[in-house]
Structure formats: C-alpha cells, structure tokens
Chain A
C-alpha cells in the first residue's frame, strides 16, 4: 500500500481555479447521477423483493426511467397554493438542496490524481473540522423541511414538518455521539486524515497482550458503526423511520403541497442525503476510498490514480442497498417507539461506549494501578447500571374523555374503547371445551 498517495491537510487549498471548477462540477454530476441511479436501483431492488420486475420500459432495463421522471417533473406547472407563505415556500426546498450538495464537498473520493497535469487530491476540500461540516449541513437541512411544512399553509405538512424536526434533531444527537469514537481513535476530524488513519492495522495492547487490530473502524468500533447507521436511516427519513412522510397518516408529509421543480428539489435532497450519509459511513468506518484487503494483496496498484473512485462508489452502493433492503423488509415504526428508541437506547449506549473507548485507550498507556482503577471503575459502573435499571411498570392506557376536548372539535371515540366480545366466540369456545367434559352433549 503506497501511503505517499494519500493527501494531507496541507495539500488542500492550493488548487488552480479551473481545477476547483472541474471538481465542483464533477461532484455535482456525481451526485445527480448517483441520485438518478439510486432511484432506479431502489425501485428495481424493491421490485425484485416483491416479485415484480420494476421499471423496465425507458432505456435498457429501465435505466433511464428516473431521468425521464425527473425531466418531466422539472418542467411541470409550478403551483403556489393560495394559503402558502410565498417567500418561505420557495426558499425551503432551496435550503434543503444547497445543504445536501454542500455536505458532499469534503468527501474524499480518492487519493492524489493528476488532472491535466496538475497533481491534486480527489476531494474538493478538506478542513480540520470537515466531519462537523456534514453535521452542520444536516442540521441546516432540517430548516428546509420544517419551513416547507410550515409555509404550506396546510395541516398535514405542518405536522410532518414538526415530526421531522423532532426526529432529525433526536437522531442527529445519536449520530454526532457515534462519530466521537471515530475522532478519538483517529485523532482528527478531517476526512482525509480519518481515511489515512484506517489504512493500516494498529498495534494495541489489550489486557497485557499486543494484538494487531484491523484498520477499518467498523470492526474496532462496531457499536459506533451500528449506531451511526441506525441514526443515519433516521436522519434521512428513510423506512422504517419515514414518519415525516408516513403516507397512511400524513398523506405526503411536509411536501404534500409541493409540485413541479420544488418537489423535485426535495426529492433530490432526500436522495443526496442518502448518498452523503452512506459516503460518510464509508469514510469513517469502511476505510474510505481504499480497496478492501484481498484486492490490495493481489494487486498493489489498487489504491493509485483513479481506481479509488471505483472502490468508493461500490462501498456507497452496498450501503445504499442496505437502505433499500430495510425499506423492503421492515414495517414503519410508531412515533413513540421511534423516539423511545433514539433517546432511551441509542444515546445512553453511546455515552457509555465513548467513556469505555476513552478508558481503554488511556489504560493501554497507563501503569498498572491506574489500569486496574479504570477496569474497576467500569465494573462499578456496569453493576450500578444493572442495579438501577428502571423496572418496567405497567402504564395505564390514557383515555381522552370527550368533554375535555375544546369546543368545535370532531367527536373522538375514547382511547380505551374495547370491542365487546363477539357472542360467537363464547359459543365456539364452549363447543371446543364441551366434547371433553360432556361428550354425549353436542351443540
């Protein structure tokens, strides 16, 4: 593996203007093509999972279907609902899409390449805090959805916007905390340095013996990887966490009132966000653009030149397949289950895991007394958690009495409404029990 090929932070920010322009346009094209391809890929995979062919009319095996749909959508008549807040209604999809595009600018797509004789890293830019840029763009992207829902002047979009705000901020917390363990292990927040840190396995001393840990963080930091991926699904509003646009509850969610190009922009932003979180997952946990181990043993040049782009894309597509797989397999969660999972499972596990990682890392370099103190501390913490784990209490089902509702509301049946047992069930049970007790009496 040639480590000289991997760019450092000093390599960024020296590009000629036309190289920057090429990179910007290249990333834009990459994202748009990935979006079009992912829509086709998703429909095809879900189709196969449901025993139907999926799109197969436009282009070879339906490949151009999403391009045709996108073009048609973009040139439809743009409808502005009368009740909508005009300016905010227009700006909301723009915010979503700009944030989605900007987040991708720090993704390392490869090592050093030469474009028309100029040596440059295959990455638009890198900052010492690059990963935080992705989190920031994710956080700002929520504005697009909330404002879009609010500005529509309609009930369901408003509820969808509120839901997605609560959902995305909750899962952003889990996502941010899951990334901390990566920062701790890599010692950097810059994406190119995190990829470089995963290039070689590291020597670690655990319980007195030296072991070589594999380079990719998804093995070493498995809990972080799992929490990251789960919260990424929640963050991108994908099934089974697609509550903001739950069709059976909220029609279309926050984009119900949107049409034409503005709707297409929301759609584009959603798919770009999927690509971005998959790309960030690849970068942080799956070794980034580096080829997986068996390939590099057979072929030394796998990480040179433009080849990394291929490995990167393949890894992203595999992660996108998992997104589609989840959608094809799991039913949608209920809102309370979803929020409970985020705050009561993901966040506490994350906090304990961060301290565990920090403790083990410091313990490896400390003398014996400190080491035993750390392990003892963790043992006490574990026992404490087990002892003070809140016992499951039976929660009384809430009932909304009709008189509590405000004036002019629709009548709602009580929440604790119980369907009276059907007279037939008693007869059937009786008939089933009867033959053994009194065989001579039939019904």
Chain B
C-alpha cells in the first residue's frame, strides 16, 4: 500500500470537514436572514437561573476536577500502548512474554489508581 492510497481515506475526512463548514455557513446565514430581531438590554443579560445574577461569572470550582484530569492522562497514555498491543499480541512471534509484559505495565498503572484511591482522591467529600 503506497502512501497516497493510505492517506486517501483520510482525505475523505477532510472533505467531511469542508462540507460541515459549508453546512454551518448556510445554517447561520439562514438564521441571520430569516429570524426576527428585537434586541433589548434584558435579553442580553445573563440568564443564569432567571433571577438577576449575583456576583461575577466565576464560581469556585473543586480542585478534584483537575485531579480527574490527571488520572485521565494516566489512562489515556495507557490506552495508547494498549490499543496496538491488543491487535498484535496474538500474532505469530508474540505470546506469553507479551501478555506478561503488558500485565506488568497495567499493574504499574493500576498502582497509580490504587494510590489515588488510598489518598482519598476518588471520594468526594
């Protein structure tokens, strides 16, 4: 399989993106042209929950959200190694050793999850 053929299937995705952009242009233009407009100050105010909002637009956010992001990175990296392994581990020339190696790798990452668990990062107090 030569490079051009291989990238041919990706070229389609590019076409899809262009068509998507065209769709949005048409949709937003139609909305701009056809919708009625009656601007007022009240409409442009923040809705929030229907009552006049108190304070600014920033809320204090739990630091735990970021901890989950870190955990995600851990497992996303694991997936990067797991996916190619999953396809090839049963081929000729691979076998027991491949599975044991992956078991060790997964165990190391599971240790990370266990650490977070024991540190009570996963429980929301």
The SS class assigned to the A binding surface is helix
The reply to whether B113 and A359 form a contact with Cβ atoms under 8 Å apart is no
Known contacts A184-B90, A355-B103: A102-B49 contact under CB 8 Å: no
Instruction: Looking at the assembled complex, report how far the CB atom of A287 sits from the nearest CB atom of chain B, in whole angstroms.
Output: 20
Instruction: Looking at the assembled complex, report how far the CB atom of B90 sits from the nearest CB atom of chain A, in whole angstroms.
Output: 6
8 contacts between A and B (CB under 8 A): A77-B35, A79-B44, A98-B17, A152-B46, A154-B46, A173-B72, A257-B46, A370-B96
User: What is the bound-complex CA distance between A147 and B80, given in angstroms?
Assistant: 26
Known contacts A74-B27, A166-B65, A169-B68: A24-B19 contact under CB 8 Å: yes
The reply to whether B75 and A173 form a contact with Cβ atoms under 8 Å apart is yes
The reply to whether A362 and B95 form a contact with Cβ atoms under 8 Å apart is yes
User: Could you say which residues of chain A place their CB within 8 Å of the CB of B102?
Assistant: 355, 358
Q: What are the interface flags for A103-132 relative to B under an 8 Å C-beta threshold, 1 for contact and 0 otherwise?
A: 001000000000000000000111101001
The reply to whether B124 and A335 form a contact with Cβ atoms under 8 Å apart is yes
Name B1-42 residues within 8 Å CB distance of A. 1, 5, 8-10, 12-13, 15-17, 19-20, 23-24, 27-28, 30-32, 34-38
A101: Cβ under 8 A from any B Cβ: yes
| Range, interface on chain A | 35 or more
A183: which of B47, B68, B83 is its contact (CB, 8 Å)?
Answer: B83
Known contacts A154-B46, A155-B57: A102-B13 contact under CB 8 Å: yes
A340: which of B59, B106, B122 is its contact (CB, 8 Å)?
Answer: B122
A295: Cβ under 8 A from any B Cβ: no
User: What is the bound-complex CA distance between A125 and B35, given in angstroms?
Assistant: 37
Instruction: Looking at the assembled complex, report how far the CB atom of B125 sits from the nearest CB atom of chain A, in whole angstroms.
Output: 5
Name A211-243 residues within 8 Å CB distance of B. none
The reply to whether B12 and A125 form a contact with Cβ atoms under 8 Å apart is yes
Instruction: Looking at the assembled complex, report how far the CB atom of A185 sits from the nearest CB atom of chain B, in whole angstroms.
Output: 9
Q: What are the interface flags for A346-362 relative to B under an 8 Å C-beta threshold, 1 for contact and 0 otherwise?
A: 01100100110011011
User: What is the bound-complex CA distance between A191 and B77, given in angstroms?
Assistant: 23
The reply to whether B87 and A183 form a contact with Cβ atoms under 8 Å apart is yes
19 other A-B residue contacts (CB within 8 Å) besides A102-B13, A343-B116, A395-B125: A10-B1, A28-B19, A75-B30, A75-B31, A81-B46, A81-B47, A102-B20, A133-B13, A163-B65, A169-B68, A173-B72, A189-B87, A251-B50, A339-B124, A343-B117, A354-B106, A362-B95, A362-B96, A374-B96
B95: which of A173, A188, A366 is its contact (CB, 8 Å)?
Answer: A366
B46: which of A20, A153, A180, A365 is its contact (CB, 8 Å)?
Answer: A153
A83: Cβ under 8 A from any B Cβ: yes
A interface residues (Cβ-Cβ under 8 A, vs B)? 10, 12-14, 20, 24, 28, 74-83, 94, 97-98, 101-102, 105, 124-127, 129, 132-133, 152-156, 158-159, 162-163, 165-166, 169-170, 172-173, 176-177, 180-181, 183-184, 187-189, 251, 256-257, 260-261, 335-336, 339-340, 343-344, 347-348, 351, 354-355, 358-359, 361-362, 365-366, 370, 374, 390, 395, 398
User: Could you say which residues of chain A place their CB within 8 Å of the CB of B30?
Assistant: 74-75
The reply to whether B24 and A94 form a contact with Cβ atoms under 8 Å apart is yes
Name B66-125 residues within 8 Å CB distance of A. 68-69, 71-72, 75-76, 79, 82-83, 86-87, 89-91, 95-96, 99, 102-103, 106, 109-110, 113, 116-118, 122-125
A154: which of B34, B47, B90 is its contact (CB, 8 Å)?
Answer: B47
User: Could you say which residues of chain B place their CB within 8 Å of the CB of A94?
Assistant: 24
The reply to whether A166 and B90 form a contact with Cβ atoms under 8 Å apart is no
Instruction: Looking at the assembled complex, report how far the CB atom of A357 sits from the nearest CB atom of chain B, in whole angstroms.
Output: 9
The reply to whether A159 and B68 form a contact with Cβ atoms under 8 Å apart is no
The reply to whether A80 and B44 form a contact with Cβ atoms under 8 Å apart is yes
Can you list the 5 inter-chain pairs with the closest CB atoms, starting with the nearest? A336-B124, A13-B8, A183-B86, A169-B72, A153-B57
Known contacts A261-B31, A362-B99: A166-B68 contact under CB 8 Å: yes
User: What is the bound-complex CA distance between A125 and B10, given in angstroms?
Assistant: 8
User: Could you say which residues of chain A place their CB within 8 Å of the CB of B31?
Assistant: 74-75, 78, 260-261
User: What is the bound-complex CA distance between A360 and B84, given in angstroms?
Assistant: 19
User: Could you say which residues of chain A place their CB within 8 Å of the CB of B122?
Assistant: 339-340, 343-344
